[in-house]
Amino acid sequence: MPLPNSLLKKLEESFETTDKLAVKNERYYLTQNYTDQEKENLKRRIRNTHQRLSYLATRVPATYAVCEDVLGRLAQYDFEFSSLLDLGAGPGTASICAKYIFPELEKISLIDQDKDFKVFAESFLKVAHHTQPLYELHDISKISKFPPTDLVISSYFLNELSEKNAGSILHKAWLATKKALVIIEPGTPKAFKNLKKLRQELINYGAHILAPCPHENACPLGDDDWCHFSVRLERTPLHKYIKEATLSYEDEKFSYLIAVKGPYKPISLPRLIKKPRKRPGHVIVDLCTANGLQQETFSKKDKALYKDAQKLKWGDCLKSEK
Ligand SMILES: C[S@@+](CC[C@H](N)C(=O)[O-])C[C@H]1O[C@@H](n2cnc3c(N)ncnc32)[C@H](O)[C@@H]1O
């Protein structure tokens, strides 16, 4: 699902009085701020208005699509959330998406240090949900305690911090979590390596992992592999222009973790951690299971299983055991 039309319209309005060429030029620097290892310790990666607008046009559609996929997975379980805390909220991407998926949310709190993103988030939440959220401006690494909240989300945020700061914020976020904590990161080997460490810390705190892992054992993936998934999203003309892209769509890769507090205990179902290979007469799937990594082949000879296997997508759980 793309960004809702009302939001796209609002987002495009932000460009009406802007030099789009300047935004396009700044996109290069924005990308560098995120990918250049020498710039890893930048205090702020989004450094001026044009970079911020570039983020809105080219990254928000992608981070929104990922939030929708991940929160959609959480919505398959029987949770009710009345409060949300969105850490590193930026323009409010995760909060806007969460309110669509969990309309019962009453209290939405966002924290970020970027005062211009606060303005965007407030206007986007007003257009999308007629909601006035609580948006606080802070350096999150300096906050000693977060308020107890049903659902805590960190979307494309922890990976921007030093390992020490990320670990300390994770601990405080987990203490504040009443029901579920969702972490979303870019689907890169480096971001996954950090997420894998955070996952182990959460398990040490007693968290139950709801997804993507169907177990709380050590991650079975070796150092040369990384657990990631993908969503496809349409690009708008503005997105294509700022990104200098020709394709009408893009595939956004992401890694994620949903941790929940007891007494809830998730049911462990094997999950497809790679794109299924659909060959003539059989489907091969790579699974993460409670007993480690497994590969299964569903052959046409077993009609019912083969039919189900043909519908499987990367990131899905296997409903029936072979
Ligand atoms: C990549 S953006 C993610 C925005 C949004 N969550 C999304 O998914 O689109 C990262 C956000 O983290 C914020 N951020 C980074 N370090 C921070 C810190 N120490 N305190 C508060 N906000 C921080 C940035 O200002 C930026 O808005």
88 CA to middle of ligand 1, Å? 4
* Strand stretches in the chain, DSSP E: 83-87, 107-112, 134-137, 149-155, 177-186, 208-211, 229-234, 249-260, 271-272, 277-279, 282-289, 292-299
Q: Give CA–CA dist 32/45, Å, rounded.
A: 9
For atom 25 of ligand 1, the residue with the nearest CA is: 114
54 CA to middle of ligand 1, Å? 15
Do residues 129 and 105 lie in contact, with contact meaning Cβ atoms separated by under 8 Å?
no
Ligand 1 atom showing the smallest separation from residue 153 Cα = 6
Q: Residue 160: CB within 6 Å of ligand 1? A: yes
In this structure, what token pair is assigned to residue 211? 């997804």
DSSP string, 294-322: EEEEEETTSHHHHHHHHT--TTPBP-S--
* Per-residue pLDDT at 250: 97
Ligand 1 atom showing the smallest separation from residue 89 Cα = 6
Phi, psi (rounded to 5 degrees) for 101: -80, -35
**Residue range(s) of every CATH 3.40.50.150 domain in the chain:** 5-260
Q: Residue 139: CB within 6 Å of ligand 1? A: yes
For atom 11 of ligand 1, the residue with the nearest CA is: 88
31 CA to middle of ligand 1, Å? 15
Instruction: Choose which residue among 157, 169, 231 to substitute to test ligand 1 binding: the one with the highest number of ligand atoms within 8 A of its C-beta.
Output: 157
Ligand 1 atom showing the smallest separation from residue 66 Cα = 8
Q: Residue 89: CB within 6 Å of ligand 1? A: yes
The CATH superfamily holding the domain 5-260 is Vaccinia Virus protein VP39 (3.40.50.150)
Q: Residue 94: CB within 6 Å of ligand 1? A: yes
Question: Rounded to two decimals, what is the model's pTM?
Answer: 0.95
For atom 1 of ligand 1, the residue with the nearest CA is: 156
- Listed residue (107, 66, 65, 60) closest to 86, CA to CA: 107
Please give the average pLDDT of every successive group of 10 residues along the chain, which has 322 residues.
85 89 87 74 81 93 97 95 98 97 97 96 95 96 98 96 95 98 96 97 96 95 96 94 95 97 82 96 96 95 91 90 52
Q: Is the dihedral of CA 52, 55, 60, 61 positive or negative?
A: positive
Do residues 164 and 71 lie in contact, with contact meaning Cβ atoms separated by under 8 Å?
no
* Per-residue pLDDT at 320: 57
CA count, 13 A, side-chain hemisphere, 224:
0
Q: Which amino acid is at 210?
A: L
Q: What share of the chain is helix, strand, coil (3-state, %, to 5)?
A: 40, 25, 35
Instruction: Choose which residue among 52, 113, 165 to substitute to test ligand 1 binding: the one with the highest number of ligand atoms within 8 A of its C-beta.
Output: 113
280 CA to middle of ligand 1, Å? 45
How many CB atoms lie under 10 A from the CB of residue 54? 25
Q: Residue 61: CB within 6 Å of ligand 1? A: no
Instruction: Choose which residue among 64, 71, 153, 160 to substitute to test ligand 1 binding: the one with the highest number of ligand atoms within 8 A of its C-beta.
Output: 160
- Listed residue (228, 316, 225) closest to 276, CA to CA: 316
Cα–chain center distance at 48: 24
